[in-house]
Amino acid sequence: MSAEKFENMELWPRGESVPFAVAGDTTDAEKRVMGDDGIIRITDVSVPTLSFYPASGKGPHPAVLVCPGGGYSILAWNHEGTDVAGWLNANGISAFILKYRCPERKDAAKADATRAMRLIRANAAQYSVLPDKIGIIGFSAGAHLSACVCNLAGAEPYPAADAFDAVDPRPDFAFLIYPAYLWREGWKLAPETTVTEKTSPTFLLSTQDDKLSVDGSISYFIAMKAAGVPAEIHVFPSGGHGYGLLRKDAPSDAWPSLAINWFSSVIARSKSW
């Protein structure tokens, strides 16, 4: 896995009004805990940042914004974050891990993810990434956040802060891994993730025994099909929820290779969408 080249790059200009800021926002509040399960959990994030993991070799490379999950309460930082960056790097893709604001700051998180996409694309030459091959990957709540950014449909999630906010934030592709919160009764999508013909091409993964994710994934795929946007879905019989890159000796262990195959065959060969 590549070492971080740039870590904790702040998203918002200093001295300016940060959207959805609250009283008491401070870097001192952030907490990072290693659980008995080996998972690093970060919470009380008030200053959102990007950490850049560049792919090795001659560029420019495709790039992916990584949105860890955690129910919008915490960020599962290694198996849905740094480990994912290493997997992307091993496949020739640069990675940017987003530390978005939490807990329970969904509007702020959406602003952070949108701003992050804009900063990556605006600085594509500096980072040696392909400006038309910048995608997003999210897990659980991070997948919901990713879907929100894929479906802005012209609605700005925050007031413009500077010239970067004129840049198109739409991801060129997306990986939604056991996405949470997409579904409403009647196989309807949540309004903030309503699919249109402008939605990013998407790879979807869930398992049949994951009640938080599977109905939303299927609903999203059906909407993608109706909109005529390229999509691929895999629903495995078992695997549960929240495994990231951890191997569980379950059918869902196959998802990383399936995701890269989809990227290589559908996205990498396309000129634009």
Q: Which domains does the chain have, with CATH numbers?
A: 17-267 (3.40.50.1820)
Mind listing the pLDDT tens digit for each residue in 13-65? 876 789 999 887 876 689 999 988 889 999 999 999 999 999 999 989 999 99
pLDDT category of residue 2 using cuts at 50, 70 and 90: very low
Q: Indicate whether 217 pLDDT > 90.
A: yes
Give the separation between CA 34 and CA 126, rounded to whole angstroms: 34
Mind listing the pLDDT tens digit for each residue in 146-200? 999 999 987 899 999 899 999 999 999 999 999 999 988 777 899 999 999 999 9
